[in-house]
Amino acid sequence: TALLEIRDLHASVGDTPILKGINLTINAGEIHAIMGPNGSGKSTMSYVLSGRNGYEVTSGDVLMNGVSMLEMEPDERARAGMFLAFQYPVELPGVGGMSFLRAAVNARRIEAGEDEVDQLEFVKMVRAKAKILGINDEMLKRAVNVGFSGGEKKRYEILQMALLEPMMAVLDETDSGLDVDALKIVSEGVNLLRDPARSMLVITHYQRLLDYIVPDYVHILAGGKIRKSGDKSLALEVEEQGYAGIDDAA
């Protein structure tokens, strides 16, 4: 069975159909990239996968390890091993970084029938992973995402991912707002999480990210449908020719 299978997925926001029949199969260990012009439905797809309110699946199915996720609440999907790094991470005023991260990790461990993490061990582990992502102690002490720059929020999302070790990670425009140095740091963090048992869906508008996070497959989304699929060379093709050549007539 595929780790993630999207079958003829149609979804609407309000009364507006946005996704118009997405088919995608991701096997364990694979990295797939979704590219597409602004407004093509990339973020909608990540919200639908996460189960966000207001994103209604009108037909089709999404299966993780052969089990439909559509009836699952967002937190159930997360516990089942799905992780989403959003294009616009939310700020959590009053929620300290360390306790937020510990609560997330403990929730996962309790679900798996394991003991809660040891406090000191946890702090050590967070610091080690944070260091790779250029996140210092001061940032870890602050409230989650409050006053973080765009790049800091993205790095913090990857830190959460590194601690939760999800089976399926969806990264929505993790490159937006990053300069080249920050992009390299974030990509290094992502690449450290590559694993034969873990799959990733990397959503981006730009080819540049895929120089650092090299995908196995690239899909072009336009007008709510995947118009073209290929290997990493497809991303370079799009970079050269733009999205104009992609047929987005339904």
43 forms part of the interface with ligand ADP (CB under 6 A)? yes
- Are 89 and 153 in contact by the 8 Å Cβ rule? The answer is yes
Separation between Cα atoms, residue 95 and residue 226, nearest integer Å: 39
Q: Least distance in Å: CB of 140 to Mg ion?
A: 28
Give the Cα-Cα-Cα angle 151, 154, 156 (nearest 5 degrees). Answer: 110
CB of 87 to ligand ADP, least distance (A): 7
User: Does 84 contact ligand ADP by CB under 6 A?
Assistant: no
- Grouping H, G, I as helix, E, B as strand and the rest as coil, residue 94 is strand
Residue 38 binding Mg ion, by CB under 5 A? yes
User: Per CB under 6 A, which region of 13-21, 104-112, 123-131, 208-216 contacts ligand ADP?
Assistant: 13-21
Q: How far is the CB of 169 from Mg ion (least distance, A)?
A: 17
Q: Binder to ligand ADP among 44, 145, 174, 199 (CB under 6 A)?
A: 44
135 vs 24, 108, 140, CA distance in Å? 34, 23, 7
CB closer to Mg ion out of 81 and 172: 172
Q: Which is nearer to ligand ADP, 83 or 86 (CB)?
A: 86
According to the binding rule CB under 6 A, does residue 223 interact with ligand ADP?
Answer: no
Q: Tokens 């929730």 sit at which residue?
A: 107
How far is residue 48 from each of residues 53, 95, 109, 121, 126, measured CA to CA in Å?
9, 26, 26, 35, 30
Residue where the block lists tokens 């990733």: 200
Binding residue for ligand ADP, selected from 2, 10, 12, 13, defined by CB under 6 A: 13
Q: How far is the CB of 88 from Mg ion (least distance, A)?
A: 9
- Please list every residue from 70 through 109 that binds Mg ion, using CB under 5 A: 87
157-189 burial code (b ≥16 CB/10 A, e <16) = bbbbbbbbebbbbbbbbbbeebeeebbebbbeb
* 50 touching ligand ADP, by CB under 6 A: no
36 contacts ligand ADP (rule: CB under 6 A): yes
- Tell me which residues touch ligand ADP (CB under 6 A): 13-14, 16, 18, 36, 38-44
